[in-house]
Amino acid sequence: MLNDNNFNAFIYLNLKIQFIKKKFQMILSKPIVLVGMMGCGKSTIGKIVSEKLNWFFLDSDKEIENEMNLSTKDIFDKYGEKFFRNKEYEIFKFYSKKKNILISSGGGSFCQKITYGVIKEYFFSIWLDVNEDILFQRLKKNKNKRPLLNSLNDNGLRRKIKEIMFERKDCYIKANKRIELNEQSIKESSNKTYLEITNYQNQ
């Protein structure tokens, strides 16, 4: 039989559980967007995590490429960066009030003022923070697909990564949550990201 102290503790615990559930539901009622440097794994991790959450997944770069029937590099070359950034904004505006959706953003989208404004208001943003060495190893393999990197040698690539990281850190830090992913394994990084999202209600 419960005494008064146990009863009060029971009531407090139940209220706390309800509060945590409500907080978590409020967070996950917003669409999630992954932000961070190119090569940090947003697309691959996003797809894996969305499957675990049973959410719809969208890669904003791929969405633009499919609409234009061109690669990101060709869109930059033919129409310019401003055109591409406007397309990014249109995507985030369109999905801003959708639920159960996880979006992998382009590396620079979160640093564009109008796109940042939409993400900040309507999305739960997560910065996937990966160190420079891992980025170099990943980007070296597919730099020809990256408009900002395709003409660089190894030394130039390292310098460019440093430069972009320095330029964008101040905007990435504004994300709702930062997850440091210094493991090379995508599986480990995906599991960590999923656990960080699902455990956020305990903070």
Report the C-alpha gap between 167 and 138 in whole angstroms. 20
Topology of domain 30-198, per CATH?
A: Rossmann fold (3.40.50)
Report the C-alpha gap between 72 and 67 in whole angstroms. 11
pLDDT at 21: 46
pLDDT at 7: 53
pLDDT for residue 48 is more than 60: yes
pLDDT for residue 72 is more than 70: yes
For helices 42-53 and 186-198, the axis angle rounded to 10 degrees is: 50
pLDDT for residue 180 is more than 50: yes
| Burial of 147: CB neighbours in 10 Å, binned 0-12, 13-18, 19+ | middle
pLDDT (tens digit per residue) in 115-172: 999 999 999 999 999 999 888 888 887 766 676 677 778 888 889 889 989 999 999 9
Decide: 109 and 60 in contact? Cβ < 8 Å.
yes
Decide: 42 and 128 in contact? Cβ < 8 Å.
yes
Q: Which of these, 177, 174, 200, 179, lies nearest to 131 by C-alpha position?
A: 179
Rounded mean pLDDT of the chain? 84
Report the C-alpha gap between 77 and 186 in whole angstroms. 31
Alpha helices in the chain (DSSP H): 4-28, 42-53, 60-68, 72-79, 81-94, 113-122, 132-142, 154-172, 186-198
Model confidence band, residue 173 (pLDDT cutoffs 50, 70, 90): very high
Decide: 163 and 156 in contact? Cβ < 8 Å.
no
pLDDT at 203: 47
Mean local confidence (pLDDT), 90-100: 92
pTM, two decimal places: 0.80
Q: Which of these, 193, 172, 199, lies nearest to 57 by C-alpha position?
A: 193
Q: Which amino acid is at 165?
A: M
